[in-house]
C-alpha cells in the first residue's frame, strides 16, 4: 500500500522537469544580470544558496520570526490553550462582578448589606485608631492609693 507521501510525489513528478528548466533559466538570467552590471564573472549561484538573490532577506527574517513560534508555542499548544481559557474565564468573572451604575447620579449603586458591612468596618477602624491617651468613658479608672507602712514585717522579724 502506498503512503500519502508517495501518492503526492507520483502526482507531481511530471512537473519536476518543467520546474527544473524554469529554475535553470532564472539562475542563468540572474548570472547574466550580475555580469552585465559590471560584476566579475563568477560561477552561477545555486538556487538554494542563502546568498542567492532568489533567497531574499525577508525569507530569513520570516524564518527568524517563526523559530520562536515553532519552539515555544507549537510544542505546548495545550498549555497555551488552557492558559487562554483561564484568562477568558477571569475576564468573564471580572465583568460579571462589576457594580451597577445609577443612571441618575452616575455613581456605583451598592447593596444595603454592603453599606452596613462598610459602616461596621469603619467603626472598627475608628476604635482601633482612636487616641489611647484619653480612655473611653465607660472604663473605670483604677484607684491610686498611697503605699501602706510595712511595720508588720518588722514586728515579725524582731520576735
pLDDT at 83: 93
Q: Does residue 17 lie within any of the structural domains?
A: yes
Same domain, yes or no, for 76 and 116? Answer: yes
Same domain, yes or no, for 72 and 28? Answer: no
Q: Does residue 8 lie within any of the structural domains?
A: yes
Number of domains in the chain: 2
What's the average model confidence in pLDDT over 34-46? Answer: 63
Q: Does residue 133 lie within any of the structural domains?
A: no
Q: Does residue 145 lie within any of the structural domains?
A: no
Q: Does residue 80 lie within any of the structural domains?
A: yes
**Residue that is written with C-alpha cell 560584476 in the block:** 39
What percent of the chain clears pLDDT 70, i.e. is strictly above it?
63
Query: Which is higher by pLDDT, 1 or 48?
Result: 1
pLDDT at 74: 81
Same domain, yes or no, for 6 and 69? Answer: no
Q: Does residue 2 lie within any of the structural domains?
A: yes
d(CA 90, CA 105): 29
Same domain, yes or no, for 39 and 60? Answer: no
Q: Does residue 120 lie within any of the structural domains?
A: yes
pLDDT at 82: 93
Same domain, yes or no, for 31 and 91? Answer: no
- Domain residues for 113? 56-99+107-127
What's the average model confidence in pLDDT over 73-82? Answer: 86
Residue 88 has pLDDT above 90, yes or no: yes
d(CA 39, CA 36): 7
What's the average model confidence in pLDDT over 39-66? Answer: 61
Q: Does residue 37 lie within any of the structural domains?
A: yes
Q: pLDDT-derived band of residue 60, with 50, 70 and 90 as boundaries?
A: low
What are the tens digits of pLDDT across the range 106-145?
A: 676 667 777 888 889 988 888 888 766 665 566 566 677 7
What's the average model confidence in pLDDT over 31-53? Answer: 63
Residue 34 has pLDDT above 70, yes or no: yes
Same domain, yes or no, for 92 and 40? Answer: no
Number of neighbours of residue 52 by Cβ within 10 angstroms:
14
- Quick one: cell of 112? 444595603
pTM greater than 0.95: no
Amino acid at each position: 500500500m502506498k503512503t500519502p507521501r508517495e501518492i503526492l510525489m507520483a502526482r507531481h513528478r511530471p512537473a519536476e522537469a518543467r520546474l527544473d528548466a524554469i529554475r535553470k533559466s532564472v539562475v542563468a538570467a540572474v548570472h547574466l544580470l550580475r555580469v552585465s552590471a559590471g560584476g566579475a564573472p563568477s560561477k552561477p549561484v545555486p538556487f538554494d544558496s542563502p546568498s542567492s538573490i532568489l533567497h531574499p532577506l525577508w525569507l530569513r527574517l520570516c524564518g527568524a520570526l517563526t523559530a520562536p513560534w515553532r519552539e515555544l508555542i507549537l510544542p505546548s499548544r495545550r498549555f497555551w490553550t488552557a492558559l487562554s481559557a483561564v484568562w477568558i474565564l477571569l475576564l468573564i468573572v471580572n465583568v460579571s462582578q462589576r457594580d451597577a451604575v445609577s443612571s441618575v447620579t452616575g455613581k456605583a449603586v451598592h447593596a444595603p448589606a454592603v453599606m452596613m458591612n462598610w459602616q461596621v468596618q469603619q467603626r472598627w477602624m475608628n476604635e482601633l485608631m482612636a487616641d489611647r491617651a484619653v480612655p473611653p468613658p465607660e472604663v473605670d479608672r483604677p484607684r491610686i492609693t498611697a503605699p501602706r507602712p510595712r511595720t508588720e514585717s518588722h514586728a515579725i522579724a524582731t520576735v
